Amino acid sequence: MQRFKGIAPYITAICICIFVSFPAVAQSVVLDEAYSAVLVRGNIPDIIRGAAIDVHPPLYYLILKVSQFFGGESLLKYRLVTAGGTYLNLLLLGATLIRKRWGCRVSILYILWFGLTYSTLEKTTFLRMYSWGAFFVTGAAIFLFLYYENGKKRDILLGAVMTLAAMYTHYYAVISVFLMWVILLLAVFLKKRENTKIVLLGGVLVTIGYLPWLKTMLAQSMKVADNYWIASFSWSRWGAVPAALTESSDAPLTGIGAALYGLLIMLFLFGFLRKKWEALLCVAVFFGTMLAGALFSVLVTPIWTSRYMYVGWGLIALFVAVTAGTVTGSFSNISQGLLVFLLAMVGAVSAKVMLADETMNSDAAAWVDFLAENVDETARLIIDNPSEHDAVFKYYLPNAVFVFTEKLLTQDIEDGLETFLTENKGSQIWYVIDYRQQRIGTDKIGACLEELGYTMETVDSFIIKYKSLEVFKVEEKGNEQY
Amino acid sequence: MNNIKTGLLLMIGAAFFGMIFTAVLYGFFPQYLCYAVYDVSEGGFYQREELELAPGTWVTEYFVPQNKYLTGVSIGVVREENQNVLVGRLSDSGGEILEERRFALTEVDYEFPFQRWVKPGEQYRLDILFPEENQSSVTIIAGEENMGAVEHISSYIGELPLENALGISYVYGTYSRKLLVFWFLVFFLGGLMAGETILHALSRKTCRKTE
């Protein structure tokens, strides 16, 4: 029985790892994912420069790049490498470190909460840095906590490594780990003063380790302060973040998220009444990160979006697990069993939502096949979509040439189009419209092409995530082959 | 025996707590019984038209909802970073105003979050008002009359019939009574933990007294 207890968290973690991996087969690539995949086609200095031009640190892209050395570009591989953050989180942190420190119950509750909520299912295989960010932030929190408890230098060293990795992964992670170090410094100063020097030294080492990126971070902050795509800040959305993270980041708050938010509030109350200080500290770091994001958004420029807070989702999972899992009493089995049952329900709902989502439920596979079978590698495409979406098309067709209708519109449309058609005579030309974010419409471009002596024939249509595409073949009159 | 008695009392108390709160939720907060999957009904325009609304004008959309719970109505508006506000007024076929919601163009979603039960098959009226106090005009999206959402019946700009359909998406919450069970379990768990916490505090108090 004792032996089973030891392996139960590993069995749970492995099952959850398999569960969260099923969206890895998805072939729809949304804009942010396409940005990651296209960026890592460059060499390492290019990736670092590219990340510096954008608004995120480079570590995640470098992880993808390393995976690219083994067998080139593959969407499935990228998705599984991204999922590596969640695997490590569940196996190394959940089933190993958390089990050793807090026991099996806490370990299993951590794994279930973290793994079964929808945001993990959504972000585990999503080609962005969130799963790795969550791993590094939670890892830093656990190692720093272990150092506070045991005073082992190995723990603070690992904590510092995790901290640096988190800081090179996401800027919300920078806020989280900063708060952790401040809390640790205060705690050792008040209770274990003999360790203050080590903590200060650790902090200095982390700062030195981050110096190479500090200048870039400041430049990125200024760039963001000048202009950032995120819409204005709303306190109601901000307040709903813990609920939003249990659901799809695309949908408004629903019953499941609200119920789990209610559960979190109740657990917070019980944690307070039962003096589960380590659990409450997790909430403090999560909430402090939220607050910092909100203050920056209100005082400087909106940088608030709920999915960024996913980097702290492991802290919330740890808070839930420690609060509910460390209760010992005659009836604790019932409440813990009920929580496990509730989380199983959450997992079932998460799976159902994911299966209905366009990530899984789209024509992406047919779209990929269509491109492979019909579109020349060096084809010319006129795209009716915002031009910032070029990464999506670049991802699917790395060597094709794109022109966006909204760019054509900035010139005299017919001149722009005429020049494009003249320059690309003899090449295969396609027109692709995304009906969800079109800029000109088929009638207008059709009329212009007609006037210039071209025809436009519809070939096929596809729904991929966030896009409803129709593909037309453009040919000179008299040369139609399709 | 005493332990079983306490356990039973704890369960009954937690069940009572759960039932009361679930009933309150069912009666007063139906929006939290919406299931996570949404049914969004929208048009698919081949050719977008842009309609400029000056402050003080309005457009009206007559529509027939297809599902029971209308989470919101999302409007196609050209995004601008200004403080202009759009007001959405939902009325039933008898002209009674059911809900009024507003959003500013600075917000993330251009949606009137009505969050209310509607009768599928019955006609409703949505007035989209662009109040006088706005500083500049706003551009809304329309398209071919026959390409609007299935809910669309007719649209008017002011009093004049509009030849286009407005770019409107109807967002429905898929209502599920199963969520009542989920909520009940959450409240039941809360009640159970509250009871355990009280018992824990009482036993500590007793221990201290004995000491």
A229 touches chain B (CB under 8 A): no
Mean pLDDT score, A290-295:
93
**Residues spanned by the domain of B60:** 38-175
For B4, the token pair is 């079983």
CATH class of A364-476: alpha beta
A441 touches chain B (CB under 8 A): yes
Contact: A232, B106; criterion CB under 8 Å: yes
What are the backbone dihedrals phi and psi of residue B209, each rounded to the nearest 5 degrees, phi first? Answer: -60, -45
Amino acid at A415: D
Best of A229, A256, A327 to substitute, by most chain B Cβ atoms within 10 angstroms, is A256
pLDDT of residue A309: 92
The reply to whether ipTM tops 0.95 is no
Instruction: Please report whether residue B189 resides in a domain.
Output: no
Render pLDDT for B21-55 as a digit per residue (tens, 0 to 9).
Answer: 999 988 888 778 776 545 666 666 666 778 888 88
For A160, the token pair is 């510092």
For A457, the token pair is 């024939």
Q: Distances from the Cα of A53 to the Cαs of A223, A392, B158, in angstroms?
A: 9, 18, 48
pLDDT at A108 over 70: yes
Of the candidates A405, A383, A379, which has an alpha carbon nearest to the alpha carbon of residue A467? A383
> Do residues A469 and A461 make contact, with C-beta atoms less than 8 angstroms apart?
yes
pLDDT of residue A1: 65
8-state DSSP, A378? T
Tell me the C-alpha distance between A291 and A294, whole Å: 5
Best of B147, B189, B198 to substitute, by most chain A Cβ atoms within 10 angstroms, is B189
Instruction: Please report whether residue B153 resides in a domain.
Output: yes
Q: Distances from the Cα of A466 to the Cαs of A79, A241, A422, in angstroms?
A: 19, 23, 32
Render pLDDT for A40-90 as a digit per residue (tens, 0 to 9).
Answer: 999 999 999 999 988 899 999 999 999 999 988 999 999 999 999 999 999
Mean pLDDT score, B118-138:
90
Nearest-Å Rg of the Cα atoms of chain B is: 25
Instruction: Please report whether residue B197 resides in a domain.
Output: no
Render pLDDT for A187-246 as a digit per residue (tens, 0 to 9).
Answer: 999 999 999 999 999 999 999 999 999 999 888 888 877 776 676 777 877 888 888 888
A344 touches chain B (CB under 8 A): no
pLDDT of residue A369: 95
Instruction: Give the number of other Cβ atoms within 10 Å of residue B115's Cβ.
Output: 18
End-to-end Cα separation, chain B, in angstroms: 25
Tell me the C-alpha distance between A315 and B183, whole Å: 24
Confidence of residue A414 (pLDDT cuts 50, 70, 90): low
The pLDDT > 90 percentage for chain A reads: 67
Per-residue three-class SS string for B20-85: HHHHHHHHHCHHHHEEEEEEEEECCCCCCEEEEECCCEEEEEEECCCCCEEEEEEECECCCCCCCE
Mean pLDDT score, B100-105:
88
Total domains, chain B: 1
Hey, which residues does B85 pair with through a beta bridge?
Answer: B104
Hey, which residues does A431 pair with through a beta bridge?
Answer: A382, A472
Instruction: Please report whether residue B129 resides in a domain.
Output: yes
Strand order in the sheet with B85-91: B97-104, B85-91, B124-130, B57-63, B152-157, B160-161
Amino acid at A120: T
Instruction: Please report whether residue B73 resides in a domain.
Output: yes
A267 touches chain B (CB under 8 A): yes
pLDDT of residue A388: 83
What are the backbone dihedrals phi and psi of residue B142, each rounded to the nearest 5 degrees, phi first? Answer: -135, 175
Render pLDDT for A336-377 as a digit per residue (tens, 0 to 9).
Answer: 999 999 999 999 989 988 998 888 988 999 999 999 999 998
| Nearest residue in chain B measured CA to CA from A353 | B37
Amino acid at A411: Q
pTM: predicted TM-score of the whole model, two decimal places: 0.85
Render pLDDT for A139-179 as a digit per residue (tens, 0 to 9).
Answer: 999 999 999 999 999 999 999 999 999 999 999 999 999 99
Contact: B194, A270; criterion CB under 8 Å: yes
Render pLDDT for B152-191 as a digit per residue (tens, 0 to 9).
Answer: 888 898 888 888 888 888 888 776 777 889 999 999 999 9
Contact: A329, B196; criterion CB under 8 Å: yes
pLDDT of residue A480: 60
Tell me the C-alpha distance between B4 and A318, whole Å: 31
Instruction: Please report whether residue B87 resides in a domain.
Output: yes
pLDDT of residue A303: 83
- Per domain, the residue ranges of chain A are 2-356, 364-476
Tell me the C-alpha distance between B108 and A355, whole Å: 26
CATH number of the CATH domain containing B128: 2.60.120.380
Pick from A195-199, A382-386, B136-140 the range whose average pLDDT is largest: A195-199
Contact: A118, B36; criterion CB under 8 Å: yes
Contact: B190, A266; criterion CB under 8 Å: yes
A260 touches chain B (CB under 8 A): yes
For B23, the token pair is 């009933």
Mean pLDDT score, A450-476:
91
Residue with tokens 């449309």, as numbered in its chain = A413
Tell me the C-alpha distance between A289 and A297, whole Å: 12
> Do residues A256 and A329 make contact, with C-beta atoms less than 8 angstroms apart?
no
